Every structure is written in structure tokens, then in C-alpha cells.
């Protein structure tokens, strides 16, 4: 089979760091990339062949992007699925707008997984005293729509808390006694082939519940790891997903795995794959959506990923502190997304540390957190 240069024209809805890293891989292979993002010179837009500056919900802009592309995808979930369902567009968009709608509604997502035989925390499709009694307290309140990075989630300690919850469509879940939070990156091709990356441990910032570090591989038994990979692949097959997906799970204190949620795209928990795996999650995503064969998910070396968030009070042009010192640590890769403005807790970049000894990589990550800061 022959393909004419640029081989594939990729449209990406959203021009953030995920789109940027997809663009890097696409350009490596000579592909053409168009990006839609409201911020001019977005991280991905700086590298893409073209950026359409418009809102993710703008149907005309979406239509233009997809029409110019052979294959379209997104780096965020909050897009206009209705516009993408138009007959001329839908066959080019991966994962499908229908799948995206399931993911956008966290209740529907949970119901779909549960009905498909995937182990999930016990949940009830309502917020009520009755539900709290059934689930026991404390319990978890979750907004159905729009939550990310710990937003749209609250802990209900006691019945009185029910009165002060945000007025949003929501549901309730049991509180899981978490041993570890795990994630598995899964890729599924157009032909239904699925592959899983090694299971990773996600470590969250206690205050804001943004993912702070990722350890690859997870320090769990071989048996648990295999089970987690099986569950993750089953989730993506159940959803008929095409592309890369992050399946986030709890390992509870009794050793049970429970799926928390699914991201229908490359994910923060898979950034380590750039340096540590044969095929990065971003190249893998492109392979999957373009109908190319999937690549090897083999881990070549243990790795730790540390997110670089804007410091408290940071506002304006970003300033990095400690770059020289950080880069002197062997095995460190520094990623900066190219956002022109820093804000507190904004994801500005990340560092991956590879080391043949995971515990040594974890110690190096600790050091990175001490010395490397993104201020203004």
C-alpha cells in the first residue's frame, strides 16, 4: 500500500500539552497537524501546521478542522459532541462522539462499566439521605458533568453535609479505603486489537487532588498487575474505544481493584511512556486512530513522572527556578508545555526520571520537587 506525503492529516480539538505531545509524534512521522484551540499559539499550535483559533464548542470551527483532516481526535473531554455527530464528520472522529458522551457523564460512564461487568465502587444515581444511609458515611459526592483534577468531587462526612453541596447534577459513591491509586494506559485499534502498558501508581497532592507523581511500574504483585491490565482492556473493549485510554483504578485495602474513571485520550499517568517505553502513548494514540498497527508497550526502564504546577501566587510570565540543578540529576527529562502564562496549580510541564532502580528514581523525584519550581 502506498501513501502520499504527508501520509495522514491529523486534526486535534484542544491545543494543550496532550495535543502538543501528540503533535510532536505526528511531526516526527511527517504527518500534517491541525489544532483547534481558543488561545493563539497554544502549546500544540506552536508546532502544528495550522491552528484554528476558536472555542471547542464552535460547530463551524469543528467542522472546518475535521473536514481538513483525515482523522480527528481531541485532548480534552469538554467538546461539542453534537457537532461531531454530523454524518460527514463522525466517521473521522476517534474516539467516537457517542463514546465521548458516555465519558462526559460520570454517572452514565459508571453505569455502562457496571452493566458490562467491570468492578466499580458501589454508587447510587442520586444525592439523598437515603443514598447516604445505604452507602454509609463518609460517602463521596460526584458531579455528573465537568469535573477534572479533583474538581466536582466532595466527601460527605455526615447527613448535614448534604445541604451544603453544589447545586449540580450529581450522584453518590461509597468511600473506598484506598491502598493505592493505579492507572493503566490501554490502546485499542480500529480493528479491535488492544494492548496495555505496565500498571502505574498515581500519587496525588493531598490538598488539591491533582496528580503529583506517577511511579512506573506500580509496586504491586504480578498477579494484581495482570488483573488490572485485564480489567483496563475489558473497559476499553466494552466502550468500543479507538485510541488511547487511561483507566484509573483504586486498589482497596482488601486487595480488590475498582475502576474509578476513564479518560478517552492520552493521560498524565502515561507521560512516562515517552522516555521509558518502546512506543509512547502519543505515538500509540496516532497509530490507533490512523488504523496503523499498534506498537510495543514494553517498559525499557523504570520511571517516575513529576508534574510541574504553577506555585501558589504565581501569575504572569513563567519563571523556572532550579533548572540547572534539576538537569544535573542523571536520568532527568524536562518538559515545559509552552504556556505563556502561569497560574497557581496550572500544569506547566513535567519531569520524567528514568533509573534502572525505581526506588532511586523515587528519591530523585523527591529532590526534583524540592529544587524545581515554576513561579512568575
188 binds a copy of itself (CB under 8 A): no
DSSP string over 9-36? EEEEE--SHHHHHHHHHHHHTT-EEEEE
User: Is 68 among the annotated ligand-binding positions?
Assistant: no
CA distance 231 to 260: 12
| Site residues (CB under 8 A) for a copy of itself, limited to 229-288 | 275, 278-279, 283, 287
Q: Does the annotation place 312 within a ligand binding site?
A: no
| 22 lines the binding site for a copy of itself (CB under 8 A) | no
The least distance separating a copy of itself from the CB of residue 30, rounded to whole angstroms, comes to 3
Q: Which of 321, 357, 359, 370 binds a copy of itself (CB under 8 A)?
A: 321
Measured from the CB of residue 3, what is the shortest distance to a copy of itself in angstroms? Answer: 5
Which cell is 154 given? 466532595
Q: Does 7 bind a copy of itself (CB under 8 A)?
A: yes
User: Side-chain half-sphere of 178: how many Cα atoms within 13 Å?
Assistant: 16
Ligand-binding annotation for 106, yes or no, is yes
Under rule CB under 8 A, residue 1 binds a copy of itself: yes
142 is in an annotated binding site: yes
CA 336 to CA 166: how far, in whole Å?
A: 35
Which CB sits closer to a copy of itself, 35 or 176? 35
Q: Does the footprint of a copy of itself cover residue 367 (CB under 8 A)?
A: no
Return the range that interacts with a copy of itself (CB under 8 A); candidates 59-67, 104-112, 235-243, 327-335. Answer: 327-335
Nearest to 61 by CA among 77, 46, 43, 79: 79
- Alpha-carbon distances, residue 10 vs 29, 53, 133 (angstroms): 12, 16, 49
The answer to the question of residue 2 lying near a copy of itself (CB under 8 A) is yes
CB of 288 to a copy of itself, least distance (A): 12
Among positions 129, 160, 207, 317, the unique one binding a copy of itself when judged by CB under 8 A: 317
When asked if residue 47 is in the footprint of a copy of itself (CB under 8 A), the reply is: yes
DSSP symbols for 135-160: H-SSEEEEESSS--TTTTEEEE-SGG
Please tell me whether residue 39 binds a copy of itself under the rule CB under 8 A: no
Residue with cell 476513564: 262
217 in Cβ contact with 197 (< 8 Å): no
Which helix (H) or strand (E) element contains residue 183?
Answer: strand 178-188
Contact in structure between 239 and 99 (CB atoms under 8 Å): yes
Q: How many residues bind a copy of itself (CB under 8 A)?
A: 49
Cβ-based neighbour number of residue 304 at 10 Å:
29
Distance of closest approach, residue 261 Cβ to a copy of itself, in angstroms:
28
Annotated binding site for ATP: 106, 142, 173-176, 181, 260-261
Chain contacts with a copy of itself (rule: CB under 8 A): 1-7, 24, 27-30, 46-47, 49, 275, 278-279, 283, 287, 292-293, 295-296, 300-301, 317-324, 327-328, 330-338, 340, 349, 354, 375
Amino acid at each position: 500500500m502506498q501513501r502520499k506525503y504527508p501520509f495522514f492529516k491529523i486534526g486535534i480539538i484542544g491545543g494543550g500539552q496532550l495535543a502538543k505531545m501528540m503533535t510532536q509524534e505526528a511531526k516526527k512521522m511527517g504527518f500534517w497537524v491541525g489544532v483547534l484551540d481558543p488561545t493563539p499559539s497554544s502549546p500544540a499550535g506552536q508546532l502544528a501546521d495550522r491552528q484554528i483559533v476558536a472555542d471547542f464548542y464552535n460547530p463551524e470551527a469543528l467542522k472546518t478542522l475535521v473536514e481538513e483532516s483525515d482523522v480527528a481526535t481531541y485532548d480534552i473531554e469538554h467538546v461539542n459532541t453534537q457537532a461531531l455527530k454530523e454524518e460527514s464528520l463522525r466517521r473521522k472522529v476517534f474516539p467516537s462522539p457517542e463514546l465521548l458522551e458516555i465519558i462526559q457523564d460520570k454517572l452514565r460512564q459508571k453505569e455502562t462499566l457496571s452493566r458490562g461487568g467491570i468492578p466499580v465502587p458501589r454508587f447510587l444515581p442520586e444525592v439523598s439521605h437515603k443514598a447516604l444511609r445505604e452507602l454509609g458515611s463518609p460517602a463521596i459526592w460526584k458531579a455528573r458533568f465537568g469535573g477534572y483534577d479533583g474538581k466536582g468531587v466532595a466527601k460527605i462526612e455526615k447527613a448535614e453535609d448534604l445541604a451544603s453541596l453544589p447545586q449540580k447534577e450529581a450522584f453518590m459513591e461509597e468511600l473506598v479505603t484506598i491502598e493505592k491509586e493505579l492507572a493503566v494506559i490501554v490502546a485499542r485499534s480500529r480493528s479491535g486489537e488492544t494492548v496495555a502498558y505496565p500498571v502505574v501508581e498515581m500519587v496525588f497532592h493531598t490538598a488539591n487532588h491533582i496528580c503529583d507523581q506517577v511511579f512506573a511500574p506500580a509496586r504491586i504483585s504480578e498477579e494484581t498487575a495482570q488483573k488490572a491490565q485485564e480489567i483496563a482492556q475489558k473497559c476499553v473493549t466494552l466502550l468500543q474505544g479507538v485510541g488511547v485510554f487511561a483507566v484509573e483504578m483504586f486498589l482497596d485495602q482488601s486487595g480488590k481493584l475498582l475502576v474509578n474513571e476513564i479518560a478517552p485520550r492520552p493521560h498524565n499517568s502515561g507521560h512516562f511512556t515517552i522516555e521509558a517505553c518502546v512506543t509512547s502513548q502519543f505515538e500509540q494514540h496516532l497509530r490507533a486512530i490512523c488504523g496503523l498497527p499498534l506498537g510495543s508497550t514494553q517498559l525499557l526502564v523504570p520511571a517516575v513522572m513529576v508534574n510541574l504546577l504553577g506555585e501558589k501566587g504565581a501569575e504572569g510570565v513563567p519563571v523556572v527556578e532550579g533548572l540547572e540543578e534539576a538537569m544535573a540529576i542523571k536520568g532527568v527529562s524536562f518538559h515545559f508545555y509552552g504556556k505563556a502564562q502561569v497560574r497557581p496549580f496550572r500544569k506547566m510541564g513535567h519531569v520524567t526520571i528514568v533509573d534502572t532502580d525505581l526506588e532511586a528514581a523515587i528519591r530523585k523525584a523527591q529532590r526534583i520537587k524540592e529544587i524545581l519550581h515554576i513561579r512568575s
